[in-house]
Structure 1
Amino acid sequence: MLEQHFRQKIIFLAAFVSLCACLQIFKDDFIYWRESLLGEFWRLWTAHWVHVGWTHYFLNILAFICLPFIFPRVNIWHFSAILLILSPLISLSFYFFLPNIEAYAGLSGVLHGAYVAVACMHLQYKRERGFAALVLFLILAKLVWENTIGNSGTAQLIGSPVLVEAHLLGVIWGVILAVIYIVTNYFRDS
C-alpha cells in the first residue's frame, strides 16, 4: 500500500511537471492577461502553470515536487483539488481586486496556498503538528520579509519582478480552503 501511494505521487508529479513544461513552450498563450482573461477562461488555471522563464519554472517545480513528500499524509486527490481550485481563485482575485495587474505567470502563489493549506490540515495530527507549525511560521516570515524588505535577489534570478500579491492571495485562499476542508470533515465524521 505504501509503495502504491509513493508510485501515485511520482506519477502525479511527473504528469504535472510535464504539463507545465509543455505549456511553457507556448507560454504567451497561457499566461494571465487581464484584457483577455474572461474570454480565454483557460488562463484562470494556466497562468499559474507557466513561468516567465525556465529558471523560474525550475525553482517553482522544485518546491512543488517537495510538497507531497514533506507532508506524508498528502492525498493526491486532495492535492489535485487544491491546485485546481487555488489557480482560478487567485486569478479572479487579481481580476476583481487588483485591476492594476495586467500580466502574471508563475506557480508561486498557488505553491504558497498549497503549502499553507496542507500545513493547516496537518495541524490536526499530533506527530506532524510541530513541523506544520514551523512551515506556517516560515511562510508568514517570508510574507513579512517580501512585503517589507523585498526580494530583489529572486527577481534578478528569474529575470522578472516578483508579484508578492500572488503569494499573499495564495496564503489567504489556502487558509480558507483548509478551514473548509477541516470543518467539512468534522461534520462528516460527527
Structure 2
Amino acid sequence: MNRMIVRQVRGSISLPRMTLLFSVLALVLAWLTGFASPALVLDLQSQQGLSWWRWFTAHWVHSDVEHLVWNVLALFILGILFENRLKGFYFTVIILSSLMIDVWFVLINPYYSAYCGLSGVLNAIMASGLVVYWKKSRDMVVPLILLAVVIKISVEWLIGGALFTQTTWAAVPQAHLIGLTVGVFVGMFAKTPDSQYKKGFAVIMSTGKTVS
C-alpha cells in the first residue's frame, strides 16, 4: 500500500522549476541588496519609488530574515503542489496577482507608504490551485480551507498585524485578500486537463488515512 501511494505521489508531482527559479531570485536579491532595499520596494514617498521594475521586484524582496524564510518556504511547498498542475496558469496567477496588488497599493491604499513581500502572491497561488482541485473533485475540504484563510485575513485586518509571524514591516492583509481573490478567479477559468491532479492531490491530503 505504501509503495502504491509513493508511486501515485511521484506520478502527480514533478520538479517545480519556475518555483525554484523564483525562490532563488528572492534569495539572491536578499543576498545582493539586503532586506527591503530602497531601490526595489514600492515606495509612495520616494521620487522614484514607483519605477517600473519595482512593480515586479517589490514582491521578491523582504523586510527581514523571518519574512524571507517563511515566504520562500511557503512558495516551495505551493510550487510542489500546484505548479505542474496549473501549467501556464501558474505564471499567470503570479503576474496577475502581483499587478493587482501593485494597482491597489498605488491607487487605493490609504494605509501604507511602502510595500514589499510575497504573501499576497502566495495566497493567489494557493487559491488558484485549490479551486482547480475543487473543480475536479468537489471536495468540500477546499471551501473550508478558503473560508479559514478569509477568516485569518479578516482577523489580521482587524488587529493590524500577522497572526503567526512577526516581521520588521507590518503585514498587509489587504494584499493577501487581493491575492486570494485573484487566485480564485484564475482557478475558476483555468483549464488543466491533467487527469492525475485529483488523484495526486487527494493522496497528499489524505496520506495518513490511506496508510492506516
Give the TM-score taking structure 2 as reference length: 0.71
Residue in 2 aligned with 1:6? 14
Question: Which of 5, 11, 15 does residue 21 from structure 2 map onto?
Answer: 15
Q: Distance in 1 between matches of 2:65 and 2:58?
A: 15
Q: Deviations over 1:109-165 (max 9, x none)?
A: 111122112212221011x7234323312211211221234546646x322211212
CA deviation after TM superposition for structure 1 residue 70, in Å: 3.7
Please give the secondary structure, in 2, of the residue aligned with 1:123.
helix
| CA 61–152 in structure 1, closer or farther in 2 if over 3 Å, else same | closer
4+ long deviations beyond 4 Å = 2-5, 152-155
| Counterparts in 2 of 1:3 and 1:153: CA distance versus 1, 3 Å | closer
Q: 2: distance between equivalents of 1:92 and 1:66?
A: 27
| 1:83 maps to which of 84, 90, 94 | 94
The equivalences for 1:14-163 within 5 A come to 14-24=20-30, 25-26=32-33, 27-34=37-44, 35=46, 36-38=48-50, 40-71=51-82, 74-126=85-137, 129-151=139-161, 154=164, 157-163=166-172
Higher RCO structure (Cα 8 Å, ≥6 apart): 2
Residue of structure 1 in register with 2:206 after alignment: none
Q: 1: distance between equivalents of 2:101 and 2:83?
A: 26
Q: 1:95 to 1:62 in 2, by over 3 A?
A: same
- Count the aligned residue pairs: 177
Query: 1:106 aligns to what SS in structure 2?
Result: coil
What is the Cα deviation at residue 47 of structure 1? 0.7
Bigger Rg, which one? 2
Question: Which ranges of structure 1 fall in alignment gaps of 5 or more residues?
Answer: 186-190
Q: Aligned pair in 2 of structure 1 residues 153, 143: CA closer, same or farther (>3 Å)?
A: closer
Amino acid at match of 1:32: L
More divergent stretch after superposition (143-152 vs 111-120): 143-152
Identity across matched positions, percent: 24
Aligned partners of 2:185, 2:115: CA distance in 1, in Å? 23
Matched letter for residue 106 of structure 2: Y
Distance in 1, Cα, partners of 2:88 & 2:143: 23
Contiguous gaps of at least 5 residues in structure 2: 1-9, 194-212
Q: 1:75 to 1:17 in 2, by over 3 A?
A: same
More helix by share: 1
TM-score for the superposition, normalised by structure 1: 0.79
Deviations 1:44-64 (A, max 9, x none): 111111110121000011111
Deviation at 1:94, TM superposition (A): 0.9
* Backbone CA RMSD of aligned residues: 2.7
Q: Which amino acid aligns with 1:50?
A: V
1:172 — aligned with what? 181
1:117–1:175 Cα contact (<8 Å) kept: yes
Question: What amino acid does structure 2 have at the position aligned with 1:91?
Answer: D
Q: CA 1:17 to 1:100, structure 2 compared with 1: closer, same or farther past 3 Å? A: same
